[in-house]
Structure 1
Amino acid sequence: MPRTADLATLDQDELFQLAVNASQGGDSASAIACLKQAVARDDATAKAHYLLGAEYAQIRMYERAVELMASALALDPTLSVARLQLGLLWLAAADTDRAASVLAPLAELPEGEPLRYFGAGLCHLIGDRIAEARAHLELGIARNTAILPLNVDMRRILDEMARLAAGQGAAAADSTKAHESEDGRHILLSAYTGNTSH
């Protein structure tokens, strides 16, 4: 890992690639150091903000993760993966209104785009339309071949939905929403695991 003084000589692409390499190697400290250097500059990119937000989410600094994801979208509203992750963060915080607002533009993605289906599935989950949520998340998984860790994340959400429906009885299932329960928040937050290379 280069020293801070050396990082100052690197351009955005170099800093980003070093951060990706560090993240893939499990070195969050080095990844964050590179990305903090990147986002502090006038030419900071949306993808650098996104990746730094993802790194913060992985180390459970969720408020910073939200700030960075929001900054990424401010710089590039078309960065759909950041939009999905920010929506997941708001869901994990049980702020369903903000989650729905952030996720809604994913419905404008082209037919067949996996993130469109993931966003729709999460919006259905917010509205307690469980069958529709399950169908859209399954469709997104079937269509997604580009960001494979997302399939694992969405499968965890599906598994948690099934567990809550089957394991707690009808009364408990009626009173405990997947996005409001402690277990549900844990499952939603797990969606950051392994995703920082995207």
Structure 2
Amino acid sequence: MRNESEKLDSEELMHLAMHAENHEQAISYLKRVLEMSDDNGKAYYLLGAIHAEIGMYERATEEMTRAVELEPDLPTAHFQLGLLHITSGRVTEAENAWRSLDELGDTDPLFLFKRGMLHLVNDEFDDCIKDLNQGIALNSQNEALNNDMRKVISKAEQVIKPASPSSELDKEESGSDGGHHILLAAYQRDDDTEH
């Protein structure tokens, strides 16, 4: 079977990677694409997305960085790169990665998501929730991203609920630092294997 698959070109391998049954298979296809053409920004983007999904955040950041260098017109890659930075506490790097999203305007979901996330790290929870909800309403193309944003909204709503004495105690005991704590709880996995 390996001999037959070696005859596949990079476009066919990309297609197979996007429809792979598991992460291992997709990673294998994408690595073969990059062996054929090391300047394929979309392959780096997909590889970075998979590595982020399995908790290999540093590797994912490197691959997303390479993707936006090669394909500067991939707004989703810019957004994902910013998310990787912001969930690692690198807000300045996230802002730099997201700068190109400003051109999309405030009716684009990615612009609204990035603005909402920046509100979050500044503990501006109401503005965060408003932007993320508006972005979700406009985003009909990426339900997985909408689900990630819903998790952030849920955590932000928990922070701004009128606090009962026991929830104040829970918040103090958890060591929460507002928006950054929410990002870690809502976006990163508990099974991080690489930071």
TM-score range, shorter chain: 0.7 to 0.9
Counterpart residue type for residue 185 of structure 1: L
Of 8, 19, 32, which residue of structure 2 is paired with 1:21?
A: 19
**Counterpart contact for 1:49–1:69, Cα < 8 Å:** yes
- How many aligned residue pairs are there? 183
In the other structure, the counterpart of 1:185 is: 184
Counterpart-to-counterpart distance in 2, 1:87 and 1:129: 18
Percent identity at matched positions?
A: 34
DSSP 3-state at the match of 1:84: helix
Deviations 1:150-189 (A, max 9, x none): 111111111111223336439749961222x2x5314123
In the other structure, the counterpart of 1:121 is: 116
In the other structure, the counterpart of 2:192 is: none
Structure-to-structure mapping, 1:74-89, within 5 angstroms: 74-89=69-84
DSSP 3-state at the match of 1:141: helix
Deviations 1:17-48 (A, max 9, x none): 111111xx3x1110000001112333642111
Structure 1: which 5+ residue stretches go unaligned?
Answer: 191-198
Is 1:176 aligned to 2:177, yes or no?
A: yes
**Counterpart contact for 1:20–1:31, Cα < 8 Å:** yes
**Counterpart contact for 2:122–2:179, Cα < 8 Å:** no
**Counterpart contact for 2:14–2:43, Cα < 8 Å:** yes
Counterpart-to-counterpart distance in 2, 1:160 and 1:40: 41
The two structures have a TM-score, normalised by structure 2, of: 0.83
**Counterpart contact for 1:72–1:82, Cα < 8 Å:** yes
